[in-house]
Each structure stands twice: as C-alpha cells, then as structure tokens.
Structure 1
Amino acid sequence: MNEHSPSGAGVTVAAAPTEVFPPTLREVLLRPWWLGMLGLALVIAGVFAWLGQWQLGSAIDTDPPPPGMNEQVRPLAEVTSPGDYLAEPLVGQMVQASGRWIPGDFLIVASRFNDGDEGYWVTGQLRLDTATTGTDQPASLAVAVGWTPTRTAAVAAVDELEAAVAADPDATVALTGRLISDEGPGLPPAGADPQTMTRMSPAALLGQWHDTDGLDVYRAYLTSAEPLGGLEKIHSPAPDEGSTVNWLNIFYAAEWAVFAGFAFYMWYRLGRDAWEKEVEALEEEAAGTPERGDGTGTATVG
C-alpha cells in the first residue's frame, strides 16, 4: 500500500508536543531547599535584631550621674585605682589625695594652653600615703602643679620645688584637684631635645621618674587646684554635662536593623536568581527541540 492508502500505512505524523510550563517564583521559593534557607535567614536576622536591641539599650543612660557630681570632692580611692582607665563619667572629677614629693621628679611639659595662652606645665611625682590608697603597696600619681607662659619661669619653679623637697623630703602634702585621663605619649617636636614632652602622659613621665621599683602608677593625672612654686593656676574647668543619649550606639543599632533586613533580601535575591536560571533553561530547551526530520518529537504510523 502506497503513501496515499486510506489505511495510512507508511505515513509519518508529527507527535503532539507536550507543553512544559515554567514554575513561578512563588513555587520555587516554597521548595524545601529555599524554605530551609529562609529559616537560616530568620536565625541570622534574629541575631542581628538582638544585637540592635542591645546597642539601643546601651544608647540611653538610664542612670546618669547627677548634675554637679564632678564638683563634689571625693577621695581618690573611691574614683579610680592604679592602672585603671578613668571611666567617662568620672573624667574631671574633683578628688583629694595626700603623699610626699619624690626628689628629682619635677618635670616640664611644653605646649600647654591655659585659657588660650600657650605655655608650660610643671609636674611632679606624688608618692601617695596609705591613707589615700588604702594599701601598703607603693603607688604614685602624676600631678600638674601649675602653669607658666615661659620656659625660664618653669625652670625656676622646678628649682624652687626641688629645694623645698630637699629641705624636708618626708613632708606630707594634701592636694585637691581635677582628675584627667591620660593623653598618651607623643613624639617631641623636630629638632627638640628627645626628652621634651608635649603631652601629659603618666606613662611618659614614668620613664623619667626615680624610685619606681615595684611601683603602681595611676593612669589618670591630677591638675592641682592650688598652684605651687610661684606658678599660675591651671585653667581646668568642669566638664560639660554629657547627654544621656549616645547617638553613636543608636547609629550602630540602625546598622544592625539594616543587616537583619539584608539577610531576607539575600534569601529573596538568591531564590529569584535560581528561578530565573531555571526558567531560562526551560525556554532554551523548548527552543532547541526540533519538530521533525531526525525522528525526535515525531511518531511513525504503520
């Protein structure tokens, strides 16, 4: 029977193609793998949210120091201890201390401004007594005893103070002043004596002090309320009352909130990329399937 036979023997007929519908984005995101990834994103976002809440809680001081607290004179031992950093609310605290001066340790610090005028500080090592520290362990406090506009006057003040100490090395002095944080050591100006100091740093002063074996040193230093050695009083006003809101912590809290949202965005973005690749692959497969000629996608009757 030929190809025109009514029986249809030997006639090749194209098979009806099976239409494949690409998945929707919702279907892809509801698959077990992406649901698991969503759970991981929830965990990460939860951690970020907790960190943001912690930062927000730290941003607001619920127990701020009362106004004028820094002007109330307190014993040094109640405020800080040797080697400890001075807490921010206690910077500028008025304290009292007593002890004796160590001979040979009245040193000059340059580039000190007093109410806008540049000059010099004269500093000394005050070896604290047990009444101040509360222990028998030797401890010293760096003290700025006064200011002068010229180095010549600073040298004269050092000579006067050293002479007074030499006359009575065991004399006890009681001081009241403002406690200030260590400024940290700094390099001397170019061409100056290597021993020149331009920053008030107990650590730097310690390098030039005497009798320091087994000595504890306070990180903070004291600006004496009463000048010594014929010097002028150091201008050391009370610190401004700080805000009870730490805006830096609030900024960090906002950052953590953004990170939490980014965890969900990354889950959505990765899922969408996977969906787009799957749809693109299906479209390319459908476009590349021949309808006839090689036996693929066709059926032979008879």
Structure 2
Amino acid sequence: MYRFLLTPRWWGINVFVLLAIPFCVFMGSWQLSRFEARVDDHRSAKELAESARTEAARPLAELLPVDKATSGRRTTATGHYGKQLLVPDRQLDGRDGYYVLTLLRTDGGKALPVVRGWLPGSADSAKAPKPPAGQVTVTGTLQASETPGDNGVSAQGGLPAGQTSAISAASLVNLVPYDLYDAWVTLDTADSGMTAVPATAAADTGLDLKAFQNLGYTGEWFVFAGFVVFMWFRLLRREVEFARDAELGILPEEPGESEGPGESEGPGESEEPGAGSTDRHDRVQEDASTPVR
C-alpha cells in the first residue's frame, strides 16, 4: 500500500519536507529570540533610567562612545557656549514646539551639543534665551546621536538658517565650525524660561514596531512549518486512496470510456442514408422470384 513512498517523486517530496520543517522551526525560534532580546533590552533600559536619576554624574570622557550601556547616564562637562541652533517640530506633553540647542566648546577642543530646553510654538530665534557667557559646567543626561527619519526624528531638508532637523554629528558638521562629539546632552534643569527635555531610551531597546515585527515573523514561520506537514499528509492520503481504488479495480474513467458502441448516437444515425430501404427492396425481389407451390 505504501510502496509508492519509494518512487523518485515521493523521494523528492519527503526530502523537501524533511528540510523545510527544521528550517521553518529554526527561523521561527530565531525571530522569537530577537523579540525576547528586545524585551530584555527594554527592561534593562527602564532599570538604567531609574538608576540614572539618583546616581552621581560622571565626566563625559568616561561615558564615550555612547552605547546601550551609557545612553541615559548622567554626565557633566565644562566649557564655553558657542553657536546656537533651533530644532523645530518637537513635541513635549502633546504640544508642538522646538528645542534650543547650543554647542558647548569643551576644554578637549570638541563641541558638545547641549539641549538647554524646549519652547512651545514655531521655531523663533528671537524667543530663544541666549546662553550664559563665560565658562560653564553643565549636568545632564547623555544621549546617542539621532538618526533622521527614525523614532519620530524629522528628515526634512531646506530648513531656514540656524535650524537643524536632527541632533547628530552628521547633521551638524556642515552647520558649525567645530569638531563635534558623536553624542548630545539634555540638561537636568532647563535654562530660564524653558522646559527641560526628558531623556529618551537608547535605540533598539524598546518595545517598538520592530519588536512586534519579530513576534509576527515568529508566528509566520511556525505556520509555514505546520502548513508543510498538513500538505504532506494530504498528499499521502490522496495517494493511499488512489492505490486502494486501483487494488479494487476502481479507476478513474477517461472521458468517453463509459459510452458503449453506438450509445452516443441516435436511432439509425450509424446507418447511411437509404441503407435500410435498399435491404428491404432486395428482400422483396427475392420473395417474388420464389415459385409458389
């Protein structure tokens, strides 16, 4: 009954199934591990943010370069404020506004972007408070450079002079005449007249759309594995039923096989026109020539 499994066709089907199922399970498990890793990162980021509020600020040099472990840590830096820029289209507590970003020229020779606060409304340099003069020491939360188009950061160009859409060394390098740190700081306490900007979690450490995409892909791969198993059993059952019918002599009929000779034809359709009348005429002549006794 199952000898058909040894045919070349079924060898190919079986090999495909034996390779496809482990591959689907592996890919589903990998996507699930990615989702679990993002959940762990999210939990770690929350714990880091809570501990960062109470820990002492550390010098900037000790926390660079910025990564998942140092993003969100409190830091301190000393220098002189230089060029000031505005970052439009930033929301805070559901209101539209803009950041006031000032470059702090540190003693190390590089400039550190410092978000001194947030103001409501459209970006207006006349409303932005001027930075303090002289040497200052700032304390705030260290943040990684933003990526335009990611996490709500605008990627639009053509902004007026004195504005930037993203806070990153790549975006600021053509706007300021300083070497820049690949990081920025948001002050714990905003300068007068402004609202402090809360720190954000490091990239890829939250339960964002990417995390739930991983979870969705996990389900898809496991569904694919189940579909392969289902189709294999369906083909097997169909083949077994065909083999059983063949043993019983019940085979699928070809089109026209069920029609007997002349069944598809009407009465007299197989005879040539006039054939019947000719036979009757011959019988009449034969009867006429027979002598009557």
Instruction: State the TM-score, normalizing by the size of structure 1.
Output: 0.58
* Correspondence for 2:194: 232
Bigger RCO (CA 8 Å, 6+ sep):
1
User: 1:253/1:285 Cα in 2 relative to 1: closer, same or farther (>3 Å)?
Assistant: same
User: 1:176/1:120 Cα in 2 relative to 1: closer, same or farther (>3 Å)?
Assistant: same
Is 1:121 the equivalent of 2:107?
no
Is 1:69 the equivalent of 2:33?
no
Conserved? CA contact 1:141–1:222, under 8 Å: yes
Matched positions, count? 236
* Correspondence for 2:140: 176
Conserved? CA contact 1:112–1:198, under 8 Å: no
- Partner Cα distance (1:151, 1:257) in 2: 50
Is 1:263 the equivalent of 2:228?
yes
User: 1:27/1:79 Cα in 2 relative to 1: closer, same or farther (>3 Å)?
Assistant: farther
Is 1:34 the equivalent of 2:10?
yes
Aligned counterpart in structure 2 of residue 141 of structure 1, from 98, 112, 136: 112
User: 1:69/1:259 Cα in 2 relative to 1: closer, same or farther (>3 Å)?
Assistant: farther
1:284 is paired with a residue whose SS is coil
* Alpha-carbon offset, residue 36 of structure 1: 3.7
* Correspondence for 1:134: none
- Partner Cα distance (1:181, 1:273) in 2: 60
User: 1:204/1:78 Cα in 2 relative to 1: closer, same or farther (>3 Å)?
Assistant: same
* Correspondence for 1:81: 65
1:257 is paired with a residue whose SS is helix
Q: Provide the aligned C-alpha RMSD in A.
A: 4.5
Structure 2 unaligned runs (5+)? 149-153, 262-293
User: 1:101/1:186 Cα in 2 relative to 1: closer, same or farther (>3 Å)?
Assistant: farther
User: 1:183/1:58 Cα in 2 relative to 1: closer, same or farther (>3 Å)?
Assistant: closer
- Map Cα deviations across residues 39-88 of structure 1 (whole Å, 9 max, x no partner): 22111210111122222233335684273234345545565526xxx54x
* Correspondence for 2:33: 57
- Matched to 2:99, the amino acid is W
- Matched to 2:143, the amino acid is L
User: 1:149/1:32 Cα in 2 relative to 1: closer, same or farther (>3 Å)?
Assistant: closer
- Matched to 1:232, the amino acid is M
Residue pairs, 1:129-278, within 5 angstroms: 129=107, 139-149=110-120, 154-155=125-126, 157=128, 160-161=130-131, 164=133, 168=134, 171=135, 173-177=137-141, 179=143, 182=146, 184=148, 185-187=154-156, 194-195=160-161, 197=163, 199-202=165-168, 203-212=170-179, 215=180, 217-218=181-182, 220-228=183-191, 230-236=192-198, 247-267=212-232
User: 1:96/1:38 Cα in 2 relative to 1: closer, same or farther (>3 Å)?
Assistant: same
Conserved? CA contact 1:178–1:225, under 8 Å: no
Structure showing greater Rg: 2
- Partner Cα distance (1:271, 1:125) in 2: 71
Structure 1 unaligned runs (5+)? 1-23, 131-137, 292-302
Conserved? CA contact 1:227–1:234, under 8 Å: yes
- Partner Cα distance (1:56, 1:107) in 2: 43
* Alpha-carbon offset, residue 226 of structure 1: 2.4
Conserved? CA contact 2:138–2:187, under 8 Å: no
Conserved? CA contact 1:142–1:221, under 8 Å: yes
